[in-house]
Amino acid sequence: MANIRALLVGLSRARLSLAEAGRCASIRPSLLASLGGHYTLPMPTRWFSSAGLPPHLVVGMPALSPTMNQGNIAKWRKQEGDKIEVGDVICEIETDKATLEFESLEEGYLAKILAPEGSKDVQVGQPIFVTVEELEDIKSIPADTSFGGEQKEEQPTESAPQPDVAKVSEQSSAVSRISPAAKLLIKEHGLDMSSLRASGPRGTLLKGDVLAALKSGAISSSAKEKKAPAAPSSQPTRDSQAQPATTSQKADTYEDIPNSQIRKVIAKRLLESKQTTPHLYLSKDVVLDPLLAFRSDLKEQHGVKVSVNDIIIKAVAIALRNVPEANAYWNSEKEEAQKCDSVDISIAVATEKGLMTPIIRNADQKTISAISSEVKQLAEKARAGKLAPNEFQGGTFSISNLGMYPVDHFCAIINPPQSGILAVGRGNKVVEPVVDSDGNEKAAAVTKMSLTLSADHRVFDGQVGGKFFTELALNFSDIKRLLL
């Protein structure tokens, strides 16, 4: 009877999960983007009820963004044995876009964590934890039960139980599996394979094995024996004696830097952009003095403190509004340019995990002070990894500003599917002839700033680019246009 009851419970749970999954499949991507940083999407689950184990739920890594195929476990909010209520945050998952909170849709108890905190590159659908209905059921699940999702340490799997040291050494000397990094170190230092021990799966010799041997000096004697016959004079002998110390110092300088999911996606998208998007580059120097004077007046007369970048965002947004053919994107399916309904400016923000591009939506309709406040809020959320999908997905045009660094001008890479990105350099004092009120030319010092447009040549041609820069230059020279 107990088995029949468990089977009926499992079938009921399966029907509910399928029904909920069907409802979720009809949700539009735009609605998903508006959900924010908390996700309550149906979890990839599997209900089991088998002899020896109580009814339990195996939960897989969810897809928390349209482009996510793997993720990292940033932090577990619940621990094994904790009670789980509907809506409780179970863990924080680092996706290809941001770090998001994973909420539960089921009640129960967390029986087993399959992907420990800090797990990297966990594939979507791969089991990450197991839940049960009753607290007592946790004791009925043996600790060594495998659900297919445990992150185990790399160990040789084909060796016999409790192998002796001599056997391990013999296997490692005849190993056929060598990692590329280990092979490079062996070749660089001329090491003897017979003195190395492999710790990787199936007897694979890893880079760490070679570095450990170099650091301990266990292979220095064999290296000397190899080099001794070729060193008859005293001077080469001193060189060979100094070689192990030099080798050890070089080995200590190696460091593997882990790559975040965000940086992996950025690298992939930028490569695709350069390979598939025909980049057109246009540049122009604009006089920055009217903007600086306007910024100073806002602070002194109205107590409004804004940055140069805030005013640049407004100036670019007005130029895009006046040249709507520049505020467009390339539709690959229709093979034609399509104009955007709104002016949404993406701004590049550097974070520890990579470059994020939060969006100022309808920037042409907002005041400079409103833009300034929104930029600060979005930048803080980007650096904390708390941006919601609707705050960084989309956008019609990007701005990358390196004016705070000693960078005079640069060319940025287009962020698909957008058709343009404006690279902003720093302002520099230059001397050039100007016409005074009397109509006479005289030398004067002015502040100039370099602007470089990277545009999709399928959307932008020379005429559209010229019209855009004409409007943009007018916004800088006649700053009052931004208040209209």
The pLDDT, as a whole number, for residue 219 is 57
Find all residues with CB under 8 Å of 78, minimum gap 6, and list them.
84, 88, 89, 90, 91, 110
Indicate which residue of 137, 279, 409, 457 is catalytic: 457
Token code pair at residue 302:
């109205």
Indicate which residue of 82, 341, 461, 478 is catalytic: 461
The pLDDT, as a whole number, for residue 252 is 60
The pLDDT, as a whole number, for residue 413 is 95
The pLDDT, as a whole number, for residue 192 is 74
The pLDDT, as a whole number, for residue 187 is 77
The pLDDT, as a whole number, for residue 371 is 96
pLDDT tens by residue, 261-317: 778 888 888 899 999 999 999 999 999 999 999 999 999 988 899 999 999 999 999
Rounded-to-integer distance, Cα 54 and Cα 139, Å: 10
Contact assessment for residue 333 and residue 340, using Cβ atoms and an 8 Å cutoff: no
Contact assessment for residue 283 and residue 452, using Cβ atoms and an 8 Å cutoff: yes
The Cα-based distances of 19 to 15, 24, 63, 126 in angstroms read: 6, 9, 18, 22
Pure H helices in 123-233: 165-173, 180-189, 207-216, 220-227
The pLDDT, as a whole number, for residue 453 is 96
The pLDDT, as a whole number, for residue 449 is 95
Active site residue 121: no
In this prediction, the residues of the chain whose per-residue pLDDT falls under 50 are 1-2, 5, 8-9, 12, 14-47, 49, 51, 152-174, 220-234, 236-238, 240
The pLDDT, as a whole number, for residue 6 is 52
The pLDDT, as a whole number, for residue 264 is 82
Contact assessment for residue 403 and residue 409, using Cβ atoms and an 8 Å cutoff: no
Active site residue 457: yes
